[in-house]
Chains A and B, each alone.
Chain A
Amino acid sequence: MSPICGGHNLTGIFMINYFFRRLFTFVLSLALASIVIFSLVEIAPGDPASFMLGINAQADTIAALRAELGLDQPKISRYLAWISGMLTGDFGISYTYRTNVTEMVGDRLWVSLPLALYALLLSTVIALPTGIYAAAKRGKAGDFTVISATQIGIAIPNFWFAIILVGIFAIKLQWFSAGGFSGWQNGVLNGIASLTLPAIALALPQAAILSRIMRSALIETLGEDYIRTARAKGLSSWQTIWAHALRNALIPVLTIIGLQFSFLLAGAIIIEQVFYLPGLGRLVFQAITQRDLIVVESVVMLLVFAVILVNFIVDIAYMLVDPRLRQDSI
């Protein structure tokens, strides 16, 4: 057996080993997250049955409703029922809405997912050129303008942007409606139109952060030896950026874009309130006030799952891309 062949086998084993270690971490994180989520939601004061029946309800009525909802069961058996249901894709029945949680979440995802993607697209389209421009003009007036604008973008909360956008484009100009979602069944363009103002409000602060990351990553790359070599062989500054620097500078930027996607999916609660969009964030917010525990648990768990899954995929992708990681895993 040649040493090269042996090396291949060895790398294969290390990769499988690495994969299973990541998979184990992935499953363990999910299990721990489910326990934390369930416990937190259960500890929070407030009873769904009392909330639904209000202040005139008699004690026996509340007890009857608790039994109907299965809230009289011990906590541990409710936890196990929840977990085993989720493993088969059944998130249970909402306490207040009395409909299937899986369906409810599915409906809301049709708003939240496109909104997150739309905002991410806008943020990337705005941020990358601005960041590259600022890095190329480092220390000059253009750079200073970008830095000041992004500072403002980071400082101003997105809901405030939202209110300003509504004031201008919905109330004054009447180009868009002030909120609500027309539904995809009334045409894709209508759907996109009703998500435009919310997506802009979400995207601007994200774009400010992303363009700063783009700028600093590119500036750092531009200081590398190989860039000097590229310039020395006669490439112009823009040619160097396009051909050599940009690809390397994009690695941290992509990581941030991944994080921003998780944030946009889970963090649009306030924007969904301001534009009264039927998205996931508003569902969780309502479920928390109504103590619709099963919905809170399931949606939060789903979001945690999405974030952990993205991290897992990133980990695996790193291993495939970066040879050093394979060595480190020995």
Chain B
Amino acid sequence: MKYHFKLLLSAGILAASMGIQTVQAAKTSITIALQLEPPHLDPTSAAAGAIDSVLYSNVFEGLTRFASDGAVIPGLAKSWEISGDGKEYIFHLNSSVTFHDGSTMDSSDVKFSLDRARAEDSTNAQKALFSGIENVEVLSSDKVKVTLASPNGSFLFNMAWGDAVIVAPETIGEIKTNPIGTGAFKFSNWVQGDKIELLRNDQYWGTPAHLESATFKFISDPSAAFSAMMAQDIDAFAGFPAPENLVQFEADNRFQVLVGNTEGETILSTNNKMPPLDNVKVRKAIAHAIDRQAIIDGAMFGYGTPIGTHFAPHNPDYVDLKANSNYDPELSKKLLSEAGFSEGFTTTLKLPPPSYARRGGEIIASQLRAVGIETEISNLEWAQWLEEVFRGKDYGLTIVSHTEPMDIGIYARPEYYFQYDSSEFQAVIEALNVESNTQKRSNLLKKAQRIISKDYVNGYLFELAFPTVANAKITGLWENAPTQATDLTDVKWTD
């Protein structure tokens, strides 16, 4: 009997000490889930945000980069000089940067990457970022000169995009399945349809990552996302797809919920060339018929920031113009009858797959019906939406979140799918493109926001929120999403 007791006691002590050991050794790996899987692993030849969500900053780096607050900070370039006329940029590269295959990253790789992105047969989804580049010249192994055709105030910002990361000519052929970058993590393995594994790069030129390894899992179904998180199969979910469940995670002390902002302006895009939507009074009537908060509450379970123009509210240059389109159904009806539509009219409302569009669409349809505007709702897949709405311009209204940062310039393109053609606005953007003085740029950006707001180009709904659910013991995750990225370089477990 005594013997048994001793055995039990020592087993208990052993178990307890093992328990203490596991608590002491903080975990050095993380399993993090995303909703979408990247189609391939080349951030420089696809629009899929999922590619950047896995690779940006972790595996690939550019000359400049976005910090977690959206600021543009030095990346592979430690500093730069800009010529007086604003056309020449000389970048000084960090020395001792190597790619994951051991080869050195130098100015010839920068020249290769930029020339490849702007080449005639380039398949870069954001080729416009590079269109102002006239010449890229190697000055020395760590100095490179970029000459622009005309000054461009947002050039350093453009170079921070995931589409502008530096790649090597020797490994470009395999980049889609075996990406070789310069980042703090190197690509290890991809089980298609399931997961991507990264390992810490021990030769990293900058501050090394805390984690030894990271696994990205791809879970598209919202209920599966909820279950995987609840069962703690995954440690974190960046861009959690079921806002209705966030409250449940907030109440559970095993988890933390971060709700950050994004660059996604969610708008009721309007075909400015399709009658009667070509009439500004009609568009104004639509704007006043919409109750933004009801849409945020109903479609996004309260997550989202109302906006009154096409600009991110957390940006210092944002102007609050919501008053131009406050919820006022009576005014809306009055405007409609002034425009000759006292009986209302019917238009199409074409909705892409995200829940903000599908849920939001039903709410907007009922709000518009209240002032006499009938909508024929049709649900489209993304590929159909691109063909019918975006390229074919065969629509009256649609709901889309424009997630590219600082994209107000799209309103200067009359052929763009909402077909807004204003010479006043175009002049502002032209001036902005060649302006590098911060104060003047700010004034121009504010002016641009006011013009599209008073022209009621689109219905401005809300800035998309970015919810992340994570194990309560994880720190260092980005709360906001200034670009699509899941930067793990500063992530670690606390105990």
Contacts and interface: CB of A to CB of B under 8 A. Distances in A.
A286 interface: yes
A257 to B, nearest CB: 28
A183 B191 contact: yes
A104 interface: yes
A61 B39 contact: no
A290 B39 contact: yes
Interface in B18-67: 37, 39-40, 45-48
Secondary structure call for the B interface: loop
A170 interface: yes
Given A97-B192, A179-B228, A179-B233, A50 B387 contact: yes
Interface in A141-184: 163, 166-167, 170-171, 174, 177-181, 183
Interface in B103-145: 120-128
A54 B125 contact: yes
Given A278-B192, A282-B193, A52 B224 contact: no
A299 to B, nearest CB: 12
B218 interface: yes
A78 interface: no
A276 B383 contact: no
B390 interface: yes
Interface residues of B, number: 49
A68 B227 CA distance: 41
Nearest to B407: A56
B191 A278 contact: yes
B355 interface: no
Given A51-B383, A291-B383, A45 B123 contact: no
A65 interface: yes
A233 interface: no
Contacts of B353: 289
A56 B231 contact: no
Contact of B192 (A46, A61, A107): A107
Interface in B140-197: 176-177, 191-195
A294 to B, nearest CB: 13
Contact of B177 (A46, A64, A99): A99
Contacts of A52: 39, 46-48, 125
A225 B194 CA distance: 57
A67 B120 CA distance: 13
Interface of B: 37, 39-40, 45-48, 120-128, 176-177, 191-195, 217-221, 223-224, 227-228, 230-231, 233, 353, 381-384, 386-388, 390-391, 402, 404, 407, 417
Given A67-B121, A276-B221, A290-B39, 11 more contacts: A45-B388, A47-B387, A48-B383, A50-B383, A52-B48, A52-B125, A53-B125, A170-B227, A177-B228, A274-B224, A278-B192
